Amino acid sequence: MAQIEEYQDLVLDALETVEFKLIRDKADIHNDALIFHPAMAHQIFGDSETIFGYEGLHVRVLYTAGPLHIYLGIEYDKRVNEISGGEIKADDVVATIAQSLPDGCYFINLDEFLKTLDKADKFQPFGEKLSEYTQRAEDGSERLFEIYQCDYKMSSFLKFFARLQTFILWFVDAASYIDTDDAQWCYFICYEKYKNKDGQYQYATAGYTTVYEYYAYPQNKRPRISQMLVLPTFQKLGLATQLVETIYKFYQSQKNVVDITVEDPSDDFQRLRNFVDARLCLPLKCFTRDEIFKGFNKEMVREARETLKLNPRQLRKVYELLRLYYTNVHDEKDYRSYRLDVKKRLNAVYYKQLKDLQKMERHKMDTEMLRARLPNMKQRMEQLQEEYLLVEQDYKNTIQKLRA
């Protein structure tokens, strides 16, 4: 009887075998230059990110570029089912992927999928156009992008969005679909407007951001940026920056918005946010060189919050970034003053923990286990220096972009 251990060479890396394409024209089906692979697959195939039972496997996940109709299919040279005489079965790849897709939103028949391309030229963006952006390539060519805002009331949009958010399981770690029945969600979609082979304009979906509008007493709201994804073929074109700036402008015009926050930002998104926020704050009166060197203060928070709807906690980081922007790092006095200012914020949590322990000890509470978890002063100083160097390098990289 065949043992599965005999077929370890048929354990394949899903990151290599899964192939995505955004299809604008039927000829794109055979254009391998359009292929891009997932950044992760553990949310589909488990922690090992593997597929078992095939030789020469290609998993094809095709999307029509605009409306994002989906095709799932596989091609392979050999399968363990036949090699083992039926004793061992290969993973059902299509069924595994389909479990993560909304019901009825994909095709397994390529001809049926291709029929949707005949109507793709009629696809139009949903909602209200908020902005447009022209990206110029080194060869002088231009690409036009448009950003639209849409809400939950459009049922046709929600079906489209259900297909769009399927990308996050492959490209955003710890991702989950949002509840589109919740009326507090607001959607911002970026499209590329391009000319097809007949010279007619069409739209291709490039990325999106979702924002949850939290209630704030008494009749206000606090928008929180939740998910952002720019599809791989559209990355490095400045679209994420355009999306954030468009969202800011959308909410800055609304008097009942307290400030704009971000839900658990990734390191990359935090860097993007720092850049956008710092660029917006540079012209403000409270963020001039002279004011910056007076230290972080409530007037900075007031002006940036009223003018730009920026969050106070984020503004502290913007202040640090712009103070470094103005600091002469070759002047030891100025540079040391800057380092101490940043380290004071970084060390605030540690000192709070120490004060909490001291308070507990004054009340005769046992703190031995809690103290054991905290680093001693020497260890903490070493950790603090490491944390500071990482923060400073991030700020320096952002400052280079600001000065470019």
Q: What tens digit of pLDDT does each residue of 384-394 get?
A: 999 999 999 99
Residue set of the binding site: 235-241
- Domain assignment of residue 275, yes or no: no
The 10s digit of each residue's pLDDT in 239-249 is 999 999 999 99
pLDDT in the model for residue 328: 96
- Residue 355: pLDDT over 90: no
Same domain, yes or no: 254 and 367: no
Q: What pLDDT is recorded for position 267?
A: 93
* Residue 176 within any structural domain of the chain: yes
Using alpha carbons, select from 295, 280, 298 the residue that is nearest to residue 326: 295
**CA–CA separation, 322 and 278 (whole Å):** 7
**What confidence category does residue 2 fall into, taking pLDDT thresholds of 50, 70 and 90?**
low
Q: Do 227 and 309 sit in the same domain of this protein?
A: no
Extract the tokens encoding 217: 């007493």
pLDDT for 138 beyond 70: yes
* Residues 133, 117 share a domain: no
Let me know whether 136 and 228 are in one domain.
yes
Cβ count near 155 (within 10 Å) = 9
Domain span including residue 386: 282-403
Is 178 domain-assigned? yes
Task: Summarize the annotated binding site for acetyl-CoA as residue ranges.
Answer: 235-241
Task: Examine the domain organization and report whether 248 and 286 are in the same domain.
Answer: no
For the chain, what is the total number of helices (H) and then of strands (E)?
16, 14
Active site residues: 263
In the listed set 197, 229, 264, which residue is the last one of a domain according to the structure?
Answer: 264
The string of pLDDT tens digits covering residues 285-330 is: 999 999 999 999 999 999 999 999 999 999 999 999 999 999 999 9
- Split at pLDDT 50, 70, 90, the class of 80 is very high
pLDDT tens per residue, range 213-247: 999 999 999 999 999 999 999 999 999 999 999 99
Number of domains in the chain: 3
Asked if residue 229 and residue 201 are part of one domain, the reply reads yes
At residue 90, the pLDDT reads: 95
Distances (CA, A) of 303 to 32, 134, 210, 259, 287: 52, 31, 26, 12, 10
- Tell me how far apart the alpha carbons of residues 354 and 55 are, in angstroms, rounded to a whole number: 59
Which structure tokens are listed for 145? Answer: 């992008």
Number of C-beta neighbours around residue 309 at 10 A: 20
Residue 70: closest CA among 38, 108, 100, 118: 108
CB-CB contact of 205 with 68 (8 Å): yes
Give the domain CATH number at 259. 3.40.630.30
| pLDDT at position 403 over 60 | yes
Amino acid at 90: A
Residue 375 tokens read as: 């680093």
pLDDT surpasses 50 at 11: yes
Residue 375 preceded by cis peptide, ω within 30: no
Token pair listed for 133: 């952006």
On the question of pLDDT at 1 being above 50, the answer is no
Angle ∠(191,195,200) on CA atoms, nearest 5: 110
| pLDDT above 80 (res 17) | yes
pLDDT of residue 357: 85
Q: With 60 as the cut, is the pLDDT of residue 35 above it? A: yes
Give CA 365 to chain center in angstroms. 44
76: domain CATH number is: 3.90.360.10
- Boundary residue ending a domain (238, 264, 290): 264
Q: 30 and 111 in one domain? A: yes
Cross-strand partners of 72: 61
CA–CA separation, 374 vs 353, rounded Å?
9
pLDDT interval class at 372 (50, 70, 90): confident
